[in-house]
Amino acid sequence: MAGRKSRIDLDALKARKGARNRASIPREVLDALEQGLIETKVLVEWLAVDHEKLARHVLPAVGLRDETPRIVKETRANRDLGIMQRMHRIGMLLGRELEGRGDADTIFERLASHPSDIVRSWAVYAVKADGSLPLRKRLALAKRFAADPAMAVRECAWESVRPFFVDDVARAIELLTPWVRSRDANVRRCAVEASRPRGVWTMHLPTLKEQPEVGLPLLEPVRADLSRYVQNAVANWLNDASKSRPAWVEQLCSRWARESPTPETAYIVKRALRTIRKC
């Protein structure tokens, strides 16, 4: 009976609404989050989780019992960094711990499929830690995270692969092109977001700032996408490009408006031109 009650309580926590602010997060919710039993619902919860506590609970269970004290110690040393830097550091630590291990694939799968969206985000950056991965394999591993139900994991997915595009943007575009034809809007959005010329809190891609036409294989198939999530990504991509190649963006938007007179394309075009129209 006690076990059944525990399951019912956990189901109730999973069905909760997200907290409005940190002070309103119920203690039992924060405890469950920091034990890796449930995933966050909103950004407030995501920011409130103590990664040291989460690591202490999760890492022994996935097969890293002996390594847990060292990882927790390094996590503590990074606690004054921003949240994305901390997320990145833990993932990179995990990636290095898995190098050369015979059970690396098993441990990685436990991390990548974990109930906690934060732990799954660690797994994203564990992949990034392996600088020797060919781009095709790197993207194949990232695709599962691009389709993750949690937004935080999806954001980590595109950010983690982006640095590996700089030296060969054309190859990255080639490999991502099938993604924009995926039935999953999250995957389509990731392909566009990962290749943005500028981005907001990530590195720029100089090739696409100077030659945004290289990105057309990713943009043309989604110029009338039915998903607002994808539409915003396309518009943001073009808005990035408009800061260095405004005439090109204007011409492209004009052509799209003629060739694709749909509400979806009209929305993309309007948002894509927002910086140009302010000038």
CA 6 vs CA 1, 9, 138: distances in Å: 9, 5, 39
Per-residue model confidence (pLDDT) at position 5? 42
Q: Amino acid identity of 21?
A: N
Give 88-106 pLDDT, tens digit per residue: 999 999 999 999 899 999 9
**Cα–Cα distance for residue pair 162/141, rounded to 1 Å:** 14
Amino acid sitting at position 187 = V
Mean pLDDT for each 10-residue chunk of the chain (279 residues)?
Answer: 52 84 93 95 93 96 96 90 89 93 96 97 95 94 97 95 93 98 98 93 91 98 98 98 97 98 98 90
Rounded distance, CA 226 to CA 264, Å? Answer: 7
Query: If phi over 0 gives left and psi between -120 and 50 gives alpha, with beta otherwise, what is residue 262?
Result: beta
Are 75 and 86 contacting, i.e. CB atoms less than 8 angstroms apart? Answer: yes
pTM of the full predicted structure? 0.90
Distance of alpha carbon 279 from alpha carbon 267, whole angstroms:
20
Contacts 24+ apart (CB under 8 A), 92-99: 92/125, 92/126, 92/128, 92/129, 93/129, 94/64, 94/122, 94/123, 94/125, 94/126, 94/129, 95/125, 95/126, 95/127, 95/128, 95/129, 95/130, 96/129, 97/64, 97/67, 97/71, 98/126, 99/129, 99/130
pLDDT at 131: 87
In 147-215, alpha helices (H):
151-161, 169-176, 185-194, 206-210
CA-based nearest residue to 218, from 169, 153, 174: 174
Report how far residue 90's alpha carbon sits from residue 75's, in angstroms, rounded to the nearest whole number: 7
Handedness of CA 21, 22, 24, 29 (dihedral sign): positive
Q: Give the C-alpha separation, 17 to 15, whole Å.
A: 7
pLDDT tens digit string along 129-167? 988 999 999 999 999 999 999 999 999 999 999 999 998
Question: Residue 202: what pLDDT?
Answer: 81
The answer to whether 250 and 215 have CB atoms below 8 angstroms apart is: no
